[in-house]
Amino acid sequence: MTASVHNQPQDTVAPSRSRRALVAGSVGNFIEWYEFGVYGYFATVIAANFFTPEGGSDVEALIKTYASFALAFFFRPVGAALFGRLGDRIGRRPTLVLVILLMTGATTLIGLLPTYATLGAAAPWLLTLLRVVQGLSAGGEFGGAVSIMTEFAPPGKRGLYGAWQSFTVALGLLGGAGVAALLTLLLTQADLDSWGWRLPFLLTLPMGLAALWLRLRIEETPAFTRTHGEPGEAPDRLHRPDHPDRQEQPGRGPRLEVPVSGPAVAPGPGELARAIALGAGRLMGWSAAGYTFLVVLPTYLQSTLNASFRQALLATVLANLGFALAILPAGALSDRIGRRPVMTAGAALVVALAFPLLNLLQDPAAPTTAKGLAVLAAGAVVGLMAGPGPAMLAEMFPTRVRCTGLGLSYALSNAVFSGCAGLIITELVKRTGDADIPAYYVAVTCAISVAALLTLRGDDHRRSLRD
């Protein structure tokens, strides 16, 4: 028979430890999404350097570039399973140290990689291999970072602390867009195509070393220590009903997301798989709309609407600015009124606004200011989903499988709906000639997310994380 799982008391953590964990968890996300943003922003340049042998078309090269982009995302679930398992067994801290080393090394090597003109057919294969390593490390990054942020979060601030994961995603994308825009101002197009595109990738080396230093200074989370025991204490002691940390809390109800048999026993494979699928469904709108509006937009504007590279980057900067401005307030609001109303509102607004937004961008007579405000608003709506999202996932899984469960939910959603966004949109626009394809894509995925988000419990934000 399935037993109810009751909440454990919220750990009281010194504010300095919480802040240190927040910074250490956030910095890896910044680097990860800075690089993924840079790759998206320089997709046309990378296509010309790595995927355009003599006689190949620009569209074919761009599709191959996005295929490499998508491949990295499909290795995220593998990384989430591998590093999530490590994070749930040996700890959040050592896992986060390992993934930042892998991400930094692979990204730096991309900046040093010879192009097709120099290395021939081996160049795109080496680029793809490095993208695979990035995908593996990125898959492990989310689960470990969100676990450490939410498990160190003070009472009543789990949504806000988890929102920093999404906020540093926005900062990373903005950082990548800012560096790309700066290079277009300082370099000629010929220099940018020849060697300038390498600089953003090489910048990750000093950033990665700083992140490594920060992560080496953090401690293991109280939740992980409690479930696995302090040095010299057998973990099995913690699972006895008479252990102080196993006492039920008055007024606390059972959690329904992943019921388990007995106290602190990890859910079975079937139960865990169902919870992961549900988590991915709740995130799919965020994944699809986020990457469509924040990363794919510049290439769409150039290839479909004939915008200049600088105009496309400006639109992307505005979208990412709106995204960044909404994330932390959305996370804090979800600590007050719950994850469900905030995230559902964001997904529903994307469904309602997708076509009007795209039609405005397509209208050559529309004022530039109106277009700028539209992409700013589009980013802000995605932020309503991204702010509470990490905390929502952390609340779905107990400590013993939290890294694995939330990491796989996020990775699977991103692999299918983010990593394939550019490939799907570019290919469908090419085949159909329909410029509204991006609106169809985000509207359908967000509509499905609305249905999945409505299954959330309304009071999960008030409950302690489960062991």
What's the pLDDT tens digit per position in 24-55?
889 888 988 888 778 777 877 887 788 766 55
Burial class (CB in 10 A: 0-12, 13-18, 19+), 202: middle
Q: Which one is predicted more confidently, 10 or 315?
A: 315
The span from the CA of 18 to the CA of 387, in Å, is 18
In this predicted structure, what is the pLDDT of residue 219? 86
Provide the sign of the torsion angle of the four alpha carbons 41, 45, 49, 53, taken in this order: positive
Rounded Cα gap, residues 448 and 283, in angstroms: 10
Question: How remote is the C-alpha of 58 from its chain's centroid?
Answer: 29
74 — pLDDT class (breaks 50, 70, 90): confident
DSSP state of 371: H
In the 8-state DSSP scheme, what is residue 3? Answer: B
CA dihedral 340, 344, 345, 349 (to 10 degrees): 170
Angle at 346 between CA 152 and CA 21, to 5 degrees: 15
Per-residue model confidence as pLDDT tens digits over 13-25 = 677 788 888 998 8
Cβ atoms of residues 246 and 264 within 8 Å: yes
Q: Is the pLDDT of residue 7 over 60?
A: no
CA distance 95 to 48: 36
Question: DSSP secondary-structure letter at 343?
Answer: H
The residues pairing with 3 across neighbouring beta strands, listed in sequence order, are 260
Residue 229: the pLDDT is: 63
Give the pair of three-digit tokens for residue 363: 């209208």
pLDDT of residue 248: 41
Average pLDDT over the chain reads: 82
For residue 248, give every residue at least 6 positions away whose Cβ sits within 8 Å of its Cβ, in sequence order, or none: 6
Contact (CB, 8 A) for 201 and 130: no
Question: CA 152 to CA 134: how far, in whole Å?
Answer: 27
| pLDDT score for 251 | 39
pTM of the model: 0.79
pLDDT bin (cut points 50, 70, 90) of residue 346 is: very high
- What are φ and ψ of residue 143, in 5° steps? -60, -45
Q: How far apart are CA 29 and CA 389, in angstroms?
A: 15
Beta partners for residue 148, in sequence order: none
Nearest-5° angle of CA 84, CA 142, CA 130?
Answer: 90
121: confidence class by pLDDT, cuts 50, 70, 90: confident
Fold of 15-225+268-462: Growth Hormone; Chain: A; (1.20.1250)
Is pLDDT at 128 greater than 80 in this prediction? Answer: yes
> How many C-alpha atoms does 406 have within 13 Å on its Cβ side?
27
- What is the average per-residue pLDDT within 422-451? 89
